[in-house]
């Protein structure tokens, strides 16, 4: 089993739709969790950290379920500009030495 698994997609949704991605991780001792966004042929950029209590940033909501070992990302009112690959990242150490990157979920928002 991979340490971090994501559905590669692609997810094709119309503008205005709500879409959700899940990411499962295998190490129950994982310490912190993140979603990064990567546009085609560009570098990844932090979208948001994922906290145990869940967190929201505008149209984006991230949640962590430690019991089931998954994190989720919900995007409401999708925009064309949300089209990208979303990378799930899990940190298994106290610093950033042991980051485990998912392969990403591809999202295409269509007009």
Partner 1 sequence: DVKVTQSSRYLVKRTGEKVFLECVQDMDHENMFWYRQDPGLGLRLIYFSYDVKMKEKGDIPEGYSVSREKKERFSLILESASTNQTSMYLCASSLPRTGGSGNTIYFGEGSWLTVV
- 1 counts as binding partner 1 under rule CB under 8 A: no
- Residue 41, sorted as left (phi over 0), alpha (psi -120 to 50) or beta, turns out to be left
- 32 counts as binding partner 1 under rule CB under 8 A: yes
Selected binder of partner 1 within 43, 58, 67, 81 (CB under 8 A): 43
Which is closer to partner 1, CB of 46 or CB of 80?
Answer: 46
Coil, helix or strand at residue 21: strand
Selected binder of partner 1 within 12, 15, 46, 79 (CB under 8 A): 46
State the Cα–Cα distance between residues 36 and 101, nearest whole angstrom: 9
């Amino acid at each position: 089993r991979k340490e971090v698994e994501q559905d590669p997609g692609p997810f094709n949704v119309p503008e205005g739709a709500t879409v959700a991605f899940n990411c499962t991780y295998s190490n129950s001792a994982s310490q912190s969790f993140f979603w990064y966004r990567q546009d085609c042929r560009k570098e990844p950029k932090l979208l948001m950290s994922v906290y145990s209590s869940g967190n929201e940033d505008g149209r984006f909501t991230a949640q962590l379920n430690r019991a089931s070992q998954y994190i989720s990302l919900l995007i409401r009112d999708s925009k064309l500009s949300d089209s990208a690959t979303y990378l799930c990242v899990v940190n298994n150490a106290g610093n950033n030495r042991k980051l485990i990157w998912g392969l990403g979920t591809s999202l295409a928002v269509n007009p």
